[in-house]
Amino acid sequence: MDEIDRAILNCLRNNARISNRELAARVNLSPSAALERVRKLKHSGIIKGFYTMFDCAKLGRGLHVLIELEIEKNIQDHDIADKLVSYPEITAIYDVAGDADYLLKVAVSDSEALRQLMNRISLIPGVRSSHTTLVLRTLKEEISPEI
């Protein structure tokens, strides 16, 4: 990866819908050369996909929480992870080191929706405990870091 690839990644990071012609102009390449570089970055796995970020509050899911889960030791945690992945309210699941085993990022409509989700999670065999943190506001949220 060279400086041009980094410039391409930073352009796409800020606007994945940028036209190939505009991207090429910003990184001083021909459109065909820029397209080929993007294809190579995708093929190598550096670019995993192109995403759209929603305003969850405007979609009725304005209550954001982080949930730390502790699971029973000697449990097949892939069964727990498979179940958690199926819950649409959970937008991210992190397998973490520290006091918790999983950190969940959740977007729900209100406290009742959160209560229902927490009840479903507590019924998953192997979940020992949870700790919920209410997000008051998001100060920074990005899909990918600047390169």
Q: Among 5-9, 48-52, 61-65, name the one with the lowest average pLDDT.
A: 48-52
How confident is the model at residue 79, as a pLDDT? 86
pLDDT value of position 74: 74
Q: Is the pLDDT of residue 68 over 80?
A: yes
Per-residue pLDDT at 51: 87
Span 37-56, average pLDDT: 94
Each residue's pLDDT tens digit, 13-32:
989 999 999 999 999 999 99
Orientation angle between helical segments 31-43 and 3-14, nearest 10 degrees: 90
Q: What is the mean pLDDT of residues 102-125?
A: 97
Question: CA-CA-CA-CA torsion for 70, 65, 53, 16, nearest 10 degrees?
Answer: -50
Domains defined for the chain, CATH in brackets: 3-43 (1.10.10), 56-134 (3.30.70.920)
In this prediction, what percent of the chain has a pLDDT beyond 90?
Answer: 87
Please give the Cα distance from 147 to 140 (Å, whole number).
17
Please give the structure tokens belonging to residue 100. Answer: 């918790």
